[in-house]
Structure 1
Amino acid sequence: MIRTQSVSKSYGAVHALDDVSLRLPSGAVTGVLGPNGSGKSTLFRILLGLTPPDQGAVVIDDAVQPAGTSPQRRAIGNVPDSDELYEDLSPDELARLTWSVHARLVGADTQFPADRFERLCDLFGLGEHLHRLSRDLSHGTRRKAQLLANLTCRPQVLVIDEPTNGLDPDQHVVLKLVLRSLADSGTTIVVSTHNLGFAEGLCDHVVLLRSRVVMAGPPQQVLGRTGTANLPEAYEALTGIDRDRIAREAAEAFQ
């Protein structure tokens, strides 16, 4: 179980996070939703130990986490929202390097899980790109290489920022099913996404963040409390999006 206790973080006059307390259940998928600038990336950096909070704490398995790397944080896998890779490594080499580092950090068996790697490579359609250098790969293929490297490690906790970036619609389905299987096997997954349909079909819990927690709970509970039929509608209700006003002003802009 991962918890944040009254976490706050400011950058000068900008309050990125304000008294955020969350529970991220073990073996479940939690979706963190919110507009740009709502504090999602800051929250992830604090969870990963990359940025210290101004106030509050991160608690993993009842242990308060100090700033920086701790034994509990070493078991966290991370897929950032960019596709930055080692340009002179292939997806195969990246996965093996990531596994080597992960195994050393958590004291795992150092034997590379070749069967898992091959199955995931197959699912993501990376076979023909497996030994090409990262600098020669498309954005979408680089993104799949990032996912492949982290999923092969099967971390205890996996944090993914914008998981569907660069992926084709058919790969959205693959990724959703892979992440569901990973969570069902015991991994705690935290995702941040603007793809509300992807979140609705995957997440056991959702958190609407706007520097503070606006609402959190299982998707059906959020729909019930907002009186809406789906997650996109609930998001609009909670963020105060006025469709009629937007449509009217857009029409006037093009008259």
Structure 2
Amino acid sequence: MSLFHVFFASQSPELLNEQSHYKKIVSERDSVNNLHVNKFEEDLISKAEYLSLVKSSFIFYKNKLKNSSAKKRKLAEKFSFRGRSSFHFWIFVFGLVTALFFFSCKSLHDDFSRGSTFKFHFVSFTGILVSIFWFTHLIFLTQSDFTQNKYIAAILIIAVLFSIFTYYLVKYYSYKDNLIDKQLSFLERIRVFHYPRIAKKAKYAEKAGLIEKSDLENDIDEFQKDLRKVFNGN
């Protein structure tokens, strides 16, 4: 998901134009001020005229820059998403957090499957905690909220609760997966090892006249059909 951010602009065209306009105003102001300084140094204008020109130029360009800054701020707010500068930035960060959450859950699942100690679980649990913290922050809060302690405390509490829930959820499904894997492994051993051995002994019992051939063939056919259904998922 974080790669999708390249399909979205980081700034609006209007904002880029206004930023360029702002730079032109600054350049124009500096040129005018330099012109006044040169005239004063060459005695083309008096001190009083110079001061009057500088003062009027300062007020004029101050207002122009102020208006341009206000316009840039409005355009930036209009283009922002969930308190971030743009959707481009938001989806990039959200994608990274999603990846962290996924691989932390996968790591925790593998820890349970291998029977690792809690110190390994703790590393994965920490990754889940951090990712849920940022999920909550990105979805429900803005960047300005991040500086307020009450919001940080609330996010941490929510993240801890969801992390504990995720921890036991992954543990539960890891346990179920482990049971399923053991059952499938047992069925595979039946097919590869146990069944051929039993079949050989049954064939010997048939030759010895201990069982009927028709009964043996029927039992083998029933077993083969049932086993094929299990492995084919029917």
What is the TM-score of this pair, normalised by structure 2? 0.23
- Does 1 or 2 have the higher relative contact order (CA < 8 Å, sep 6+)? 1
What is the TM-score of this pair, normalised by structure 1? 0.21
Query: In proportion to residue count, which structure has more helix?
Result: 2
The structure with the larger Rg is 2
Query: In proportion to residue count, which structure has more strand?
Result: 1
